[in-house]
């Protein structure tokens, strides 16, 4: 299959590192003009410098109206919107403050809603566009220690499905991607804190998955580029009949046929 996004402009939120950076690089490799986003102008500039292709900077804190406005001023129109921005962290579910609940909702959910509201009308008017939300296995298998995080990812599934209906019949598709345990920054230290430190990385991650993530059918951590492959496909003209879906790149982690 030829995934050609030449002539398309894409915005990937939270894309200075990890999954977001891999998605931005994948879209650029497919020919898209890609805007990299993060809160810090310096971190965004460094990420752009390290990527090949037509990559531009779009810094701004999307959890705020002001930050979103700055990004929209710099990039008033896009053909592909990938809502990747997200934060996570374990906390005692009975002691999470109202402010922390709000913070997780504003960063993980409201930031994506703001941008969808801003960019979707233009896509509809042009008769082509792609909107995606990067969700998580935690949207379906809610972690007891991260209820506040799981809630936001479940909300993204609902948001995605709803906006897909709003764009029905227009040539614009809206989907979410459910991501499983992934090899991102800091995860190697986390893995080695739980398994034998003398093991080579490939063996260590497989031992970690066997002992601590036994639901995975893949038996190893997912690489960010594997998530990016799904996102690039969904962003392409070849995915024109896929909308309103929750597609899984979870290594079989979620033990169900449907999300």
Domains of the chain: 9-182+223-249 (3.40.50.720), 183-221 (no CATH)
- Cβ neighbours of residue 192 closer than 8 Å, sequence gap 6 or more: 204
| Statement: residue 259 has pLDDT above 90 | no
**72-82 per-position pLDDT tens digit:** 999 999 999 99
Answer whether 0.85 is exceeded by the pTM: yes
User: pLDDT value at position 1?
Assistant: 84
Residue 134: left (phi > 0), alpha (psi -120 to 50), or beta? beta
- What percent of the chain shows pLDDT beyond 70? 100
Mean pLDDT, to the nearest integer, of 168-176?
Answer: 98
Q: What is the Cα–Cα distance from 29 to 232, expressed in whole angstroms?
A: 9
The C-alpha torsion from 106 through 93 and 180 to 113, rounded to 10°, is -20
Does the annotation mark 149 as catalytic?
Answer: yes
User: pLDDT value at position 257?
Assistant: 86
User: pLDDT value at position 258?
Assistant: 79
Mean pLDDT, to the nearest integer, of 33-48?
Answer: 97
**6-21 per-position pLDDT tens digit:** 999 999 999 999 999 9
For residue 63 the two structure tokens come to 């959890």
Query: Is 201:221 a contact under the CB 8 Å cutoff?
Result: no
Catalytic residue among 119, 133, 149, 253: 149
* CA 83 to chain CA centroid, nearest Å: 6
Mean pLDDT, to the nearest integer, of 136-164?
Answer: 96
**181-240 per-position pLDDT tens digit:** 999 988 999 999 999 999 999 999 999 999 999 999 999 999 999 999 999 999 999 999
Coil/strand/helix, residue 32: coil
């Amino acid at each position: 299959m030829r995934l050609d996004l030449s002539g398309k402009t894409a915005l990937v939120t939270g894309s200075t590192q990890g999954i977001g950076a891999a998605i931005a690089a994948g879209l650029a490799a497919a020919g898209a003009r890609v805007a990299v986003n993060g809160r810090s102008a310096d971190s965004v500039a460094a990420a752009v410098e390290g990527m090949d292709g037509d990559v531009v900077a779009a810094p701004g804190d999307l959890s705020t109206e002001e930050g979103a406005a700055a990004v929209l001023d710099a990039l008033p129109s896009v053909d592909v919107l990938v809502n990747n921005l997200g934060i996570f962290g374990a906390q005692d579910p009975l002691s999470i403050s109202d402010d922390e609940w709000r913070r997780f909702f504003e960063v993980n959910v409201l930031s994506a809603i703001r941008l969808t509201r801003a960019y979707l009308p233009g896509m509809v008017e042009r008769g082509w566009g792609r909107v995606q939300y990067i969700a998580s296995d935690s949207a379906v298998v809610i972690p007891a220690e991260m209820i506040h995080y799981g809630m936001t990812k479940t909300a993204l599934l609902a948001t995605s499905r709803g906006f897909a209906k709003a764009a029905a019949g227009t040539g614009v598709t809206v989907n979410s991607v459910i991501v499983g345990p992934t090899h991102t920054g800091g995860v190697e230290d986390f893995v080695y804190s739980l398994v034998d430190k003398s093991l080579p990385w490939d063996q260590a991650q497989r031992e970690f998955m066997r002992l601590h993530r036994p639901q995975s059918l893949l038996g190893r951590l997912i690489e960010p580029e594997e998530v990016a492959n799904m996102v690039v496909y969904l962003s392409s003209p070849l995915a024109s009949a896929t909308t309103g879906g929750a597609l899984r790149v979870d290594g079989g982690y979620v033990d169900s046929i449907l999300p």
